[in-house]
Amino acid sequence: MSPFEQVRMNIPPKIPLKLVSLANLTVEEKATSFSRLDEEAIKSLFPKTYGNSAITFVEGESQGNTPKRVGVCFSGGQAPGGHNVIISLYRGLKQLNQNSILYGFIGGPNGFLKQEYIELNADRLALYLNQGGFDLIGSGRTKIETPAQFELAATCAKALALDGLVIIGGDDSNTNAALLAEYFLSIGLSTSVVGVPKTIDGDLRNDQIEIPFGFDTACKVYANLIGNIQRDALSAKKYYHFIKLMGRTASHIALECALKTHPNYTLIGEDVFSKKRSLKDIVEILAAVVEVRSNLGIDYGVILLPEGVLEFTSDYSTLLKELNGVLEKATSIHDTQPQEKIEFVISQLPTQSKLYTSLPQKIQLQLLLDRDSHGNLNVSKIETEALLIELVSIELENRRAEGGYKGQFNPQPHFFGYEGRSSTPSNFDANYCYALGLVAALLINFRLTGYIATISNLRAQPALWQPGALPLTSMLTMETRKGKLKPVIRKALVDLEGAAFLKFAAMRAMLAVEDDYLYPEPMQFFGPEEITDTCPLTL
């Protein structure tokens, strides 16, 4: 371990006052109004777990605090702070009863189904305090969906005589937690299932879950890099940096980073959708920004692109789906010449042949050539940032031909994603995760099932944070997935009426023409609290 890691593993996270002493707490129902969509459908699918209230913890008589046997797994993509959830879950269980046991399932939910686990102990866990990654036990993306999988889950819970199972995950993983909780009760199994809200994407949130863990750190990592690139752009004065940001469909990360760094333009997918923008509209907007700046004598800039932004366009997302359909059916064309392929595809596209025809030959070919090892089209390989750079270049050349644009356009593509998912956690995420793990321990101690741990009042200092839990069923709605109506936790998109977006929207026009770059520091851990202990701006 490096000197930094050694120092960090010895710094205790800050604990909310309400969670300092777990042994004397009891549960209190909290009056909260949920906007329950699809109430009847959810109620009929979750007869055992539907209808619970949100809860909070108050001082009260000890509830016995018998020893508990608990399992925990990570589910889905990495997010900074995950190790702290497991460590405080362990410490919380031990605080409630020294004889409690914690198992870590290896490689995500699949480790649970296959009964691949390790028993966690204090010495080993201590090495992971405040460290990044999920590498203590790894993660995975297996969904528990089939009857056989549910049976395997029950088999494991019985084999280990689990009192509780903690699933640390995002929207899909917590939907899984809700289904497992209901299933276990339906077969008379007393294993509590509890979720913990994790995802850098920031799309698992509601009135009670102010933000999932990991979002803060990831945005701080990206914002520091964006600031560095902005300072470079301002120094060199000759590049346009197109920076794609991870975050799946929603644009939360891009919005948070835009507020932290003030780049010249930031596309927000939800905004693109609400304004019914086409790919061409987006290209014209970006080209207009470049042209206006150029006419002011500025031939550099920084543009942020959420990775999911083109899914919100009115046309390009459809083209990709149609191309996939055409190439799936017509396997025989794989060996024909490029030009024949293009002509064949144009003749087959149901609605988007005009858009495809309008793309430059290079992009047309890439859309056909980028196939995976099984010969399938791999659309994700056509990078959003490369596509937009190519199209904006062409649009600018058209504008040059018409006399409007006279500048130099030197674009540079970037993609920030994996850099931020396993970073050492910010103090905010380290503290937040530690508090979430303690709540998970309490929920299992009280034999509560089908809940997700919550911490509210996150804008305040950690001592004042409010622990609680929310019934997972209150978060479910019905959606069609792969042709079937299923209960899901709907991804929270950027709220176009929310304070964060409105603040951004109010500066958008100004930032496009006047550089007001901010340069967030690399995450600091030892300095003044106003530098080390900030929370996300979108809170």
Catalytic positions, written as ranges: 201
3-state secondary structure 292-345: HHHHCCCCCEEEEEECCHHHHCCCHHHHHHHHHHHHHHCHHHHHCCHHHHHHHH
Q: How far apart are CA 349 and CA 345, in angstroms?
A: 6
Under a CB-based contact definition with an 8 Å cutoff, are residues 13 and 436 in contact? no
Which residue from 110, 191, 208, 224 is in contact with a copy of itself, where contact means CB under 8 A?
Answer: 224
Largest CA distance in the chain: 80
3-state secondary structure of 508: helix
- Nearest-angstrom CA–CA distance, 504 and 501: 5
Tokens of 14: 């800050």
Please check whether residue 427 is in contact with residue 219, taking contact to mean a CB–CB distance below 8 angstroms: no
Please report how close the Cβ of residue 473 comes to a copy of itself at its closest, in angstroms.
30
Residue number, 78 or 176, with CB nearest to a copy of itself: 78
Q: Is 523 in the site for a copy of itself (CB under 8 A)?
A: yes
Determine, following the binding rule CB under 8 A, whether residue 315 of this chain makes contact with a copy of itself: no
Does 225 interact with a copy of itself (rule: CB under 8 A)? yes
CB of 279 to a copy of itself, least distance (A): 20
- 421 part of the interface to a copy of itself, by CB under 8 A: yes
Span of 114-122, 167-175, 416-424, 457-465 interacting with a copy of itself by CB under 8 A:
416-424
Task: State the pairing for strand pair 117-119/101-105.
Answer: antiparallel
Query: Binding residue for a copy of itself (CB under 8 A) from 39, 284, 419, 479?
Result: 419
Is residue 37 within 8 A of residue 68, CB to CB? The reply is no
Main-chain dihedrals φ then ψ at residue 249, nearest 5 degrees: -65, -50
Handedness of CA 332, 334, 337, 341 (dihedral sign): positive
Give the residue carrying structure tokens 């549910």: 150
* Distance of closest approach, residue 526 Cβ to a copy of itself, in angstroms: 3
Residue among 181, 221, 345, 392 that touches a copy of itself (CB under 8 A): 221
Name the residue nearer to a copy of itself (CB basis): 21 or 410.
410
Closer CB to a copy of itself, 437 or 467, in the complex: 437
The closest alpha carbon to 110, from 146, 149, 136, 70, belongs to 149
- Which span sits near a copy of itself by CB under 8 A: 220-228, 447-455, 487-495, 504-512? 220-228
User: Taking CB under 8 A as the rule, does residue 301 contact a copy of itself?
Assistant: no
Residue 397 engages a copy of itself in binding (rule: CB under 8 A)? yes
Rg (CA), the chain: 25
Which residues are registered as beta bridge partners of 456? 466
Of the residues 2, 35, 98, 480, which one makes contact with a copy of itself according to CB under 8 A:
2
Dihedral angle of Cα 417, 203, 19, 189, to the nearest 10 degrees: -110
Q: Could you say whether residue 234 binds a copy of itself (CB under 8 A)? A: yes
Does position 111 interact with a copy of itself (CB under 8 A)? The reply is no
Find where tokens 């359909």 sit. 325
- Nearer CB in complex with a copy of itself: 108/437: 108
Q: For the CB of residue 240, give the shortest distance to a copy of itself in the complex, in Å.
A: 12
Residue 207 found at the interface with a copy of itself (CB under 8 A)? no
> Which of helix, strand or coil describes residue 524?
coil
Which residue number, 241 or 293, has a Cβ lying nearer to a copy of itself? 241
Instruction: Write the interaction track for a copy of itself spanning residues 12-51; mark x where CB under 8 A is met and - where it is not.
Output: ----------------------------------------
Closest CA to 426 of 8, 2, 1, 3: 8
The token duo for 199 is: 């995802």
CB of 530 to a copy of itself, least distance (A): 5
Name beta bridge partners: 480. Answer: 485
Q: Which is nearer to a copy of itself, 137 or 355 (CB)?
A: 137
Give the residue with the Cβ less far from a copy of itself, 34 or 525: 525
What residues between 66 and 85 interact with a copy of itself by CB under 8 A? 74, 77-78
Q: Which two tokens stand for residue 344?
A: 């064949």
In the complex with a copy of itself, the residue whose CB is nearer, 65 or 534, is: 534
Shortest CB 50 distance to a copy of itself, Å: 34
Instruction: Name the amino acid, one letter, at 238.
Output: K
Q: Does 414 bind a copy of itself (CB under 8 A)?
A: yes
d(CA 518, CA 234): 11
For a copy of itself, the binding residue among 170, 195, 202, 420 (CB under 8 A) is 420
Given 5, 39, 116, 284, the residue binding a copy of itself (CB under 8 A): 5
Side chain identity, residue 42: I
CA distance 326 to 6: 55
Q: Which of residues 334-373 bind a copy of itself (CB under 8 A)?
A: 337-339, 361-362, 365, 369-370, 373
How many chain residues are in contact with a copy of itself, going by CB under 8 A? 63
Counting contacts by CB under 8 A, is residue 527 touching a copy of itself?
Answer: yes
Distance set, CA 402 to CA 324, 397, 399, 408, 513 (Å): 36, 9, 5, 16, 22
Site for a copy of itself in 492-521 (CB under 8 A): 518-521
Of 141, 35, 38, the C-alpha closest to 485 is: 38
CB of 56 to a copy of itself, least distance (A): 33
C-beta of 358: minimal distance to a copy of itself in Å? Answer: 17
Name which position in 84, 424, 427, 466 contacts a copy of itself (CB under 8 A): 424
- C-beta of 69 vs 248, nearer to a copy of itself: 248
Q: What is the DSSP letter of 53?
A: P
Cβ 319 to a copy of itself, closest distance in Å? 20
Residue 414 neighbours by CB under 8 Å, 6+ apart: 229, 241, 242, 243, 244, 385
**Which residues are at the interface with a copy of itself (CB under 8 A)?**
2-5, 7, 74, 77-78, 107, 131-135, 138-139, 221, 224-225, 228-229, 231-232, 234-237, 239, 241, 337-339, 361-362, 365, 369-370, 373, 393, 397, 412, 414-415, 418-424, 518-528, 530-531
